[in-house]
Amino acid sequence: MPQTSVVFSSILGPSCSGQVLPGMGERGSGASSSGDLVFQEGRLISGSLEALMEHLVPTVDYYPDRTYIFTFLLSSRVFIPPHDLLARVGQICLEQRQQLETGSEKAKLKSFSAKIVQLLKEWTEAFPYDFQDEKAMAELKAITHRVTQCDEENGTVKKAIAQMTQSLLLSLAARSQLQELRDKLRSPAMDKGSVLKTKPPATQKDILGVCCDPLVLAQQLTHIELERVSSIHPEDLMQIVSHMDSRDKHRCRGDLTKTYSLEAYDNWFNCLSMLVATEVCRVVKKKHRTRMLEFFIDVARECFNIGNFNSMMAIISGMNLSPVARLKKTWSKVKTAKFDVLEHHMDPSSNFCNYRTALQGATQRSQMANSSREKIVIPVFNLFVKDIYFLHKIHTNHLPNGHVNFKKFWEISRQIHEFMTWTQVECPFEKDKKIQNYLLTAPIYSEEALFIASFESEGPENHMEKDSWKTLRTTLLNRA
């Protein structure tokens, strides 16, 4: 399994494939039109952008479905920046308010104001980062000022707005602090941690010296996964759709920050793969290398049982890297039956059909779970990204009549919402700082150093390997 780069190489790779719905965006039987909105079996499947915006705004007798609110707020950023959408929502609200004021219907006006505040509350809770933009915050203040004009001094509408504003500011402050911390810890793009150029002293600790229980290590990897994935937000994932879209002319502020959260999580996958390879290749004795391989196979199996597919894939990827895979004498001593089962689960044929079946089983277990442990689902992130991206690329944003293909965005939203549900699970395992510190800070070999260590353990066996080994030694001598 090759290493990946989430936002760039992996989504552009020609071999990527994702699950999509056939006929998405086509008007099937049972389609009906309501103005500029088209419904199919009672479900909204397309509409003009203006009609979709109007469908978002409540009226005295109507409040949009929560799934529609989430889906439209998430997908609309492909077409219009959040602050512009908020401005249009404000205009529609003002028009409706003026009609109610003309009719002198104070009770209805108060009900309408309460619904507008509820919509804004759901927006600020689901996508607080939208309001880091000064323009969006100014629009929010303008709308809330309008809807409070009919409310008494300590009325319910004003109280609701005060609570909403306070919660939003707290969310923005927390995220700002987290971003500052990330900026301090962020390493250069080419740096993968402390890189070892030669074999370490025999006295230097390895992973087995820190943790020799595969279940415990799998639990600590799950801890790290859940901590890291929790920094990803729905709008970050929507960057998969808009980041590479050549027709997207509405770049939101903070795009680089958003894609960084995806890249940072993907980088963890690559570092874990390299750490596994390093731990194997650095071992001098064949017997100990065999034990190390069998240990990581058991760790990957425990990750699978937990539902931590991302760490499982990273470990398998590390053992499939060329410097490790070529150690035939070492592998000949390994009991590979367990490893064969793991590779079967991660077989890439038929669009990773076996993995998707296992993921579906873990999802069903999570939905019926009575404990946090049973709720854990951590998908292979790179495959999730490819699914979203290909769903976007295969189906157009607009239909021939100019309508937004909302059926497509329902499916993208559904997958992102499901992913976000998984990220909010509280880790049930007790944190072991010693083990986590090793996993996150242990030095790892560069790719060149991995090959050197591999050839030192088991010499080259064919002309290609001999040429590679000769080139590596020449490079080392020139550096010396």
- The tens digit of pLDDT for each residue in 308-337 reads 999 999 999 999 999 999 999 999 999 989
The pLDDT, as a whole number, for residue 300 is 97
Residue 293 has pLDDT above 90, yes or no: yes
How does residue 28 score in pLDDT terms, banded at 50, 70 and 90? very low
How far, in Å, CA of 473 to CA of 324, rounded? 19
pLDDT tens per residue across span 395-429: 999 999 999 999 999 999 999 999 999 999 999 99
pLDDT of amino acid 157: 86
Q: pLDDT tens, 53-63?
A: 999 999 989 99
Q: Tokens 């799934």 label which residue?
A: 67
pLDDT tens, position by position, 148-198: 876 665 578 889 999 999 999 998 888 776 666 555 544 433 333 344 444
pLDDT tens for 442-469 read 999 999 999 999 999 999 988 998 888 8
Task: Provide the pLDDT for residue 149.
Answer: 74
Question: Comparing 99-108, 187-196, 197-206, 299-308, which segment has the lowest mean pLDDT?
Answer: 187-196
What are the tens digits of pLDDT across the range 242-269? 665 544 444 443 444 456 778 888 899 9
Please report the pLDDT score of residue 243 as a whole number. Answer: 61
**Could you tell me the CA-to-CA distances from 405 to 25, 38, 239, 276, 387 in Å, in that order?**
5, 10, 18, 44, 18
In this structure, which amino acid lies at residue 406? Answer: F
Whole-number pLDDT of residue 27: 35
Classify the phi-psi angles of 195: left when phi > 0, otherwise alpha if psi is within -120 to 50, otherwise beta.
Answer: beta
pLDDT at 302 over 50: yes
pLDDT beyond 60 at 281: yes
Would the pLDDT of 118 be above 60? yes
Name the residue with tokens 């088991």.
458
The pLDDT value recorded for residue 101 is: 76
Banded model confidence at residue 11, pLDDT cuts 50, 70, 90: very low
Residue 8 pLDDT exceeds 50? no
Do the beta carbons of residue 365 and residue 374 sit within 8 Å?
A: yes
Asked whether the CA dihedral 107, 108, 109, 110 is positive or negative, the reply is positive
Is pTM beyond 0.85? Reply is no
Using the predicted structure, report yes or no on whether residue 364 has a pLDDT greater than 50: yes
Instruction: Compute the mean pLDDT over every residue in the chain, rounded to the nearest whole number.
Output: 84
Identify the pLDDT of residue 24: 46
Joined together, the tokens standing for residue 32 give: 């009906």
Give pLDDT, residue 254.
41
> Residue 236 is encoded by which pair of tokens?
């970050």
> Which of 251-260, 338-347, 382-391, 424-433 shows the lowest per-residue confidence on average (mean pLDDT)?
251-260
pLDDT grade, residue 480 (50/70/90)? low
